[in-house]
Structure 1
């Protein structure tokens, strides 16, 4: 079967399943199946046989490869027609110019969430007097040298609460080598994905992944006297007085940040707190697109009867961990701006909303009064 015939069939199947942009998704699925880029489907002869990809093999082997590729393509099209998200099928999602591994353990990063990263970077630029220059980047070097540069020269600390895949915190760390990140999530499974993404993008040494509810890991760490004895703590199978929900992942060999980063995160108030929390009311879950409702983790979506449960807790707790000039940035759902702003003001914050590219209030930015 030709590329053109496969694409025509797949686009028809996906369109009948109610998927918007069926042709584009069919192209992406075929490219994924063949291990090529989407544009390569057209850089090659679109009428060429699939078995052309097995060029150089004997005819029987080429036919077998073509048949295998066709079957695999039919399988992934069936999964997409069942409304499984494209990102879960391919195992990857682009966010802020970076590719992140994703699966059903984590929420799929959305384009509108990139606004959190943009606002964080802008705030850090103002605090530091500008972006890091190319000379600064090159002088930082790589590996441990870069890490020493980062902490010594401009030791910013950013928290990424409800980190999920780690996309937000990792994007900030990639763009600011002078930043250390505390990324927390209540889901240990999500943190495994996030830690893998940090390693993929070369920022593992500057990010601490911690399992716990919102700020719980940070609060627990502050009380651990054994932090003063890093060596004995590092070799301990479990930090003193660590509850099951507040254990960091060092002892699980998922994340191994450097000593200076760990010490700074514990001792230094946060310069920016980022959070894309669950914010969908319980009654709206059933009305969501099947890709979201049936596949993405419910724990990362649902936020009580009115969808505001996490904002109440964030606004009552975040001030304790933020420095005086620090910034709290929270993504919000459609129509939630008035309620969240009211809660912010009631909790002693000066707050405003920032719209996304569609003009929808997407982020609440708050600072302590």
Structure 2
């Protein structure tokens, strides 16, 4: 009797544990779904209202990080619920997560076909008269670890037996002076630093983990040499951008590591894109960095430019529109997204209700938003 009661108690405890795991998985999935919907709503509002502020961007980044954690937790809880349901038997149904689907892998990726050995006989009757009628293909994305190689360029020396003159092929071309890094490795270092924001000290650590002893100063030397080598290309892009009839200008914050703290630098961009206006010239963007947001920076970046400039209401652009500017004042083209944002703020019922003085709703703003 005691053994039967003990077995019943164990079964009930196992079943309760499986039910709790299933409920926990449902809660985790609900939280992940809520976070995904919140992120989608914020993105839609940002598109609708034309908000491009850094605070809104940081909010989106925070929501994406939160969604990442919740998705990982939901998957972990799903697996735990399936395991608990398997231990409990068929009494408890494991939580089935609703999949939002996955995009197919890009077609340009190479495919490695692995065909599993087919059965030689029928598992039902044992006959060996089998005929192929189809196949199921399961695709798994795999990563090929990067590898390094040393390219030895051999310059053979020859001596003339008639005049004893020594001849030898010229030295190979290197992208940078004193170049020890090949073009692909050098491009990878630059992309990691400037596009992926991977500092050189971390790149040096990763090289060390892969068996390459490359110091931070050596990497920095190559970055400086590459910057100098690419400068003619930067100047060519600058001439192309500043030759446009109209430009779009803006700036954004960028965190910069400094001594014992992080400062806020500025990244300025001037964009040339005539495609919406039927232009055939190639679009291009010219970036410039500064450690502050003083109004001298737009004047330096656009020195000598004459044309139409579309920018926000930052006062640093105002000197560019003055009549006494040399060689000529720029023509100001204001931004519709910034103008539209003010109408949405005036028509934001929730924001008005939160204010203490409760100003009256703007009928003009409401009418503009409805249109």
TM-score normalised over the length of structure 1: 0.24
Q: Which has the higher contact order (CA 8 A, sep 6+)?
A: 1
Greater helix proportion: 1
- Which has the greater radius of gyration? 2
